[in-house]
Amino acid sequence: MLRTHNKLVFPHGIPDARARVPVRANARHSENRNLDSLTGSLPQFGDISAFWQALEGDITSPIQRYLWSESCFATLPLDGELHVVVVKTGSQTGAIAPLVRTNGFLGRLEHLGVKTLREPTDLVFSDSAALKNLADALVEMGHPLFLDRIPADSPTVAAIQEAYRGRGLVRVCRAEPYPRLMLHQGWRTPESQLKSGRRSDLRRAVRNAERIGPLSYEVLSPTPLQLGPIFEEALEVEAANWKGSEGSAMARDQLRGQFYRQYAAAASAAGILRLCFLRIGSKAVAMQVALECAGSFWLLKIGYREEFAQCSPGMLLIAETIRYAASAELVAYEFLGNADTWTRLWTQNEVQTVTIRAYPFRARGVAALAADAFAAILRRFAAGLKRKKK
């Protein structure tokens, strides 16, 4: 552990709680343990849970919260060492960067879980001063920094640029946007907010479904004891189409499936998990894994049974959960993921995100910059060959 004035920085993980040693001001870490070797109850990662949760008061995104990163650490391969950087400016103020230092000489610092799950996220901070201290701490670590899918209007962008000024090079590039529907009273009847053609599509989908059996919708908030069979039903529905055959469904994707099982249990215990179903008769034909958190509805996973495609069950369930969110007086329906043709049926509002690449003026930074530049040249060359073949 490295203590500098009023900052607590853990660039090599949280110290082993079972073997704490006195730390002098500006002393180098001595008996720290890298968290990538820990399994089970994750006691060391849990050492910062209370402080992390104290910073969550103004955080809207569940992806930035402790439960998400805890589940990432518990289930996902790190491909390196976990480096949690904590800057504490008060008992309930400060900043946190949950990072992974990749293996090899370059040792890039990357956001925990983003490479695998691809959800938009940000650093955790209570105020601009704490964020500035965190950005300074990241520069001092001397490793190339790679933060992907950061909201373009986040203060993190300017804080990183300022911290590296004169000490490194920062490149900010556009990344995939994600859709957001801002809710108002009108969305209590979602059909009224759509263009006439889309309203007709919804009515046709309802008629097709009702020819098979009666329609019913569920938005469930299961307790941990109730979760098991309900979540398994959601997994079954999601896998009953192309996702299942391609292996990307949670029930088939061992890596991501393990994460979502773990996170669903944690979110259920916290009371924020919502499992949503459209049923025709008694059969679940569409599902959503979602969260109700910080005044918004967050869509994590969707799926439907291919055999009922003529009923557009996914579209019908989206309409119903938008109705639910608006009736609950939530402020936004967050689609997460990437903007796509089907999301633009509901909203044209897309949150822009960026990738931040920071290269310190050190050997690792210069090497990482050269490696990234070479990789970019190869990608352009490959793209050019692909265009010529067409």
Query: Is 178 in contact with 336 (CB distance < 8 Å)?
Result: yes
Q: Are residues 29 and 156 in the same domain?
A: yes
Residue 47 belongs to domain with CATH number = 3.40.630
The answer to the question of residue 343 being in a domain is no
pLDDT tens over the chain, length 390 residues? 333 333 334 444 443 332 222 222 222 232 332 322 222 334 567 778 999 999 998 888 999 999 999 999 999 988 888 888 999 988 899 999 999 999 888 889 999 999 999 999 999 999 999 999 999 999 999 999 999 999 999 999 999 999 999 999 999 999 999 999 999 999 999 999 999 999 999 999 999 999 999 999 999 999 999 999 999 999 999 999 989 888 899 999 999 999 999 999 999 999 999 999 999 999 999 999 999 999 999 999 999 999 999 999 999 999 999 999 999 999 999 999 999 999 999 999 999 999 999 999 998 888 888 988 887 788 777 766 667 666
> Would 345 be classed as within a structural domain?
no
Report how many domains make up the chain.
2
Instruction: Give me the DSSP letters along 68-137.
Output: HHHHHHHHS--SEEEEEEEEEEETTEEEEEEEEEESSSS--EEETTHHHH------EESSHHHHHHHHHH
Q: Which pTM value belongs to this model?
A: 0.86
Which residues contact residue 295 at a Cβ distance below 8 angstroms, ignoring those fewer than 6 apart?
60, 330, 331, 332
Provide the domain limits for residue 316: 184-330
CB atoms inside a 10 Å sphere around CB 84? 24
Shared domain for 243 and 363, answered yes or no, is no
Residues 156 and 244 in one domain: no
Which among 141, 117, 157, 199 is positioned nearest to 356, based on CA atoms? 157
Q: Which of 16, 45, 43, 7 is nearest to 131 (CA)?
A: 7
- Is-contact 311 205, C-beta < 8 A? yes
250 and 101, same structural domain?
no
Look at residue 263 and tell me if it is in a domain.
Answer: yes
- 312 with 374, same domain? no
Residue 302, number of CB atoms within 10 A of its CB: 22
Instruction: Measure the CA dihedral 129/131/136/140, to 10°.
Output: 140
3-state secondary structure of 356: strand
